[in-house]
Amino acid sequence: MNTVAEPALAAAAASAARPTDPRKAVFEANKLSKRLHRQVGQAIGDYKMIEAGDKVMVCLSGGKDSHALLDLLISLRERAPVPFELVAVNLDQKQPGFPAHVLPEYLRRRGVPFHIENQDTYSVVKKLVPEGATMCSLCSRLRRGVLYRVARELGATKIALGHHRDDMVVTLLINMFFGGRLKSMPPKLVSDDGRHVVIRPLAYVAETDLQRWAEHRQFPIIPCTLCGSQNDLQRVQVKAMLHEWERQYPGRSDNMLRAMAHVTRSHLLDRNLYPFESLQATGVPDAAGDKAFDDDSCADTTRVQSVALHFERNPDVED
Ligand code: SF4
């Protein structure tokens, strides 16, 4: 579960939301609804996340992201070109003060099949993790194991998680900054036990939109702070940095997400991804080929071309 920088996020979402004119408020809510449905539908289509006959287990923690995921999938199912089933699953980890009645009541109201799994992972984590250390890593691992088992028992063919665009971008940066790996959260993957396909239908959705949608739809949010764990400091820092970037340069998070979908293997350093060792000159010009000495940037290409032409014509002029 992720609670990082929620106050800053709520403020960011609020500043972009809640118009005082009621007609404007309806207009904005419709626009948001359309965008969310389009983005989720697009991600599902792009990665073939859901197929005819699937039984999709939606992991519902009670946070804004998983609520939005379930809500959007319920609505998309009604207009989907292929039939599929949904089942919501909540894992009650027995954290002190967990309001166990909230989600069953909500899910009954929504008329969606659900299962509440009761497993006291909270006590296990408390016992094993030293006082003051972050509990999230062990907690998530235990939760994952339980959810895989439940998916098997329910006969689910897909497990849907509520991670969104910002989670993916932040994970990419954390892995780069602290782990030395170019790796994020994939929109679709086979689980580590090899038995399940896990999907992330919110892959294209901005977290601020989910925050606004949660407020608009008035989901019964259960905070992820009941366990008393501190937030993961690296994630907090990177997320704050991303928010600041996004404030200064709107669109940067979307660009980073786009970059993850447009990888040029030959322009990275991974010898497992590209056969650098066996690379040979082909002798055949390739218009789309690499211009090895050019700065591959967003430079003003007109100026770059004219300067290049000038030097080609005046080869003796010094740089
Ligand atoms: S330890 Fe607490 S904050 Fe961390 S994942 Fe578990 S429930 Fe969420």
pLDDT at 186: 97
pLDDT at residue number 165: 97
Q: What is the mean pLDDT of residues 68-82?
A: 96
Q: How confident is the model at residue 230 (pLDDT cuts 50, 70, 90)?
A: low
Which pLDDT score is estimated for 121? 94
Give the pLDDT of residue 8: 52
Query: pLDDT value at position 184?
Result: 97
Average pLDDT, integer, range 248-255: 95
Confidence of residue 134 (pLDDT cuts 50, 70, 90): confident
**pLDDT > 90? residue 307:** no
pTM of the complete model: 0.85
Q: Write down the pLDDT at residue 55.
A: 98
pLDDT computed for residue 3 by the predictor: 41
pLDDT cut 70: percent of the chain above it: 84
Average pLDDT (192-214) is 96
pLDDT for res 180 = 96
- With b for 16 or more beta-carbon neighbours within 10 A and e for fewer, the 51-84 pattern comes to eeebebbbbbbbbbbbbbbbbbbeebbeeeeeeb
pLDDT score recorded for residue 30: 96
- Verify whether ligand 1 is closer than 6 Å to residue 91 (CB atom): no
Ligand 1 contact, 206 CB (< 6 A) = no
pLDDT top residue among 194 and 74: 74
Round to whole Å and give the CA distance between 279 and 3. 47
Q: Is the pLDDT of residue 16 over 90?
A: no
Q: What is the pLDDT of residue 1?
A: 43
C-alpha to C-alpha distance for 157 and 213, rounded to whole angstroms:
28
Closest CA to 159 of 169, 149, 168: 149
Whether pLDDT at 103 is above 80: yes
Domains of the chain in sequence order: 6-260 (3.40.50.620)
38 CA to middle of ligand 1, Å?
Answer: 31
Does the Cβ of 227 fall within 6 Å of ligand 1?
A: yes
Q: Say whether pLDDT at 110 is over 80.
A: yes
Question: In whole numbers, what is the pLDDT of the chain averaged over residues?
Answer: 88
Q: Which atom of ligand 1 is nearest to the CA of 125?
A: 1
Judged against a pLDDT cut of 90, whether residue 223 lies above it is answered with: no
Q: Which atom of ligand 1 is nearest to the CA of 136?
A: 4
Check whether 216 has a pLDDT greater than 50: yes
Q: Mean per-residue pLDDT for 122-129?
A: 92
Say if CB 180 and CB 140 are below 8 A apart: no
- For residue 83, the CA-to-ligand 1 centroid distance in Å is 34
- Nearest CA, atom 1, ligand 1: 136
Confidence of residue 192 (pLDDT cuts 50, 70, 90): confident
- Residue with the smallest CA separation from ligand 1 atom 2 is 227
Is the model more confident about 70 or about 7?
A: 70
- Residue 13, pLDDT > 60, answer no
Ligand 1 site, residue 229, Cβ cutoff 6 A: yes
Cα-Cα-Cα-Cα torsion 60, 105, 213, 204, nearest 10 degrees, comes to: 20
Atom of ligand 1 nearest to the CA of 143: 6
- Percent of the chain residues past pLDDT 90, beyond the cut: 70
Tell whether ligand 1 has an atom less than 6 A from the beta carbon of residue 139: yes
Cross-strand bridge partners of residue 58: 88, 160
Assess whether the C-beta atom of 140 lies below 6 angstroms from ligand 1.
yes
Q: What pLDDT does residue 296 have?
A: 60
The answer to whether the beta carbons of residues 168 and 257 sit under 8 Å apart is yes
Atom of ligand 1 nearest to the CA of 121: 6
* pLDDT for 136: 84
Would you place residue 317 in the very low, low, confident or very high pLDDT band (cuts 50, 70, 90)? Answer: very low
- 235-260 mean pLDDT: 94
End-to-end CA distance of the chain: 55
